[in-house]
């Protein structure tokens, strides 16, 4: 089985790659940093390859899709794990807020560009998406940026389009689900100053990346579609179809795949 994992060089992504490699699957790690990606691939306990690319840039999304198409004529599972929780507003070369680009637009773009090769998609989500308020006129451009809320906003954008992908792919047998892996101790959302210190203390009581990887790995073997999982339990999604359609149309235009 060919499994692609974005952000597979560290944290939950690396733990997912390691477990799948141990099970005998071929793993393709997508990483922005070539050196860290190569180090991760060398340390994995099985067949692994590296695709380097920047998922914060639209051109990078297209480049990654092209490289994955060359590396994998068939993608049995695509795990969207790469994610950002920014502490300050950063705009990409495309004029987009960086977390919006990585957390929402990149998964959308890879799904569309690679859909003829896909069998199964697993989106690593966050339970905080229910607190998000996705505004297509503001969120993509950072007009409503907030160091805590933006993560939830961009994760909500991603979840809103999941049912639409499930509908689009149903007849061809491609499945897609999202999973909240739990509250995990990774580098996501790292901060400096007093807030960062408090976060470090709190993280000591959070689950390990290996524990967070378990429900993600479990979902790679399921065949449900259009569902949201809180770890291993399917729960109702809080989505707005009209908002999802607006975000879908917008992402198509922003990514150049409309």
Q: Which helix (H) or strand (E) holds 106?
A: helix 106-114
Whether the CB-CB separation of 243 and 134 falls below 8 Å is answered with yes
Per-residue pLDDT, 205: 44
Per-residue pLDDT, 193: 55
Please state, in angstroms and as integers, the Cα–Cα distance from residue 61 to each residue in 39, 55, 78, 213, following that order: 22, 5, 14, 24
236 Cβ partners below 8 Å, 6+ apart? 228
**pLDDT tens digits for 2-59?**
999 999 999 999 999 999 999 999 999 999 999 999 999 999 999 999 999 999 999 9
Residue 203, domain extent: 2-255
Both tokens of residue 163?
A: 């049912």
| Active-site entry in 14, 129, 151, 228 | 151
Q: Is 141 a catalytic residue?
A: no
Cα–Cα dist 163/176, whole Å: 9
How many domains does the chain contain in total?
1
Per-residue pLDDT, 184: 64
Both tokens of residue 47?
A: 């067949």
Per-residue pLDDT, 214: 93
Per-residue pLDDT, 148: 86
Question: Which residues of the chain, if any, have pLDDT below 50?
Answer: 190-191, 195, 197, 199-203, 205
Q: Which CATH number covers residue 74?
A: 3.40.50.720
């Amino acid at each position: 089985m060919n499994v692609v994992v974005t952000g597979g060089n560290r944290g939950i992504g690396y733990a997912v790659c390691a477990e799948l490699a141990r099970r005998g699957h071929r793993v393709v790690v997508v990483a922005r940093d070539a050196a860290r990606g190569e180090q991760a691939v060398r340390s994995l306990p099985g067949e692994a390859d590296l695709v380097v690319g920047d998922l914060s840039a639209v051109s990078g999304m297209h480049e990654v899709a092209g490289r994955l198409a060359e590396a994998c004529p068939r993608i049995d599972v695509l795990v969207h794990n790469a994610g950002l929780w920014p502490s300050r507003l950063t705009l990409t070369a495309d004029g987009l807020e960086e977390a919006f680009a990585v957390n929402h637009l990149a998964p959308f773009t890879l799904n569309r560009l690679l859909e003829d090769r896909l069998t199964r998609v697993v989106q690593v989500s966050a339970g905080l998406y229910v607190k998000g308020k996705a505004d297509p006129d503001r969120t993509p451009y950072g007009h409503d940026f907030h160091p805590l809320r933006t993560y939830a906003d961009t994760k909500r954008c991603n979840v809103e389009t999941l049912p639409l992908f499930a509908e689009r792919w149903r007849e061809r047998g491609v499945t897609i689900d999202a999973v909240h892996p739990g509250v995990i101790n990774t580098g996501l959302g790292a901060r400096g100053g007093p807030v960062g210190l408090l976060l470090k203390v709190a993280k000591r009581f959070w689950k390990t990346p290996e524990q967070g990887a378990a429900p993600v790995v479990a979902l790679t073997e399921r065949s449900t579609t259009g569902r949201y999982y809180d770890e291993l339990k399917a729960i109702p999604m809080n989505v707005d179809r009209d908002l999802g359609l607006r975000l879908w149309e917008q992402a198509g235009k922003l990514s150049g795949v409309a």
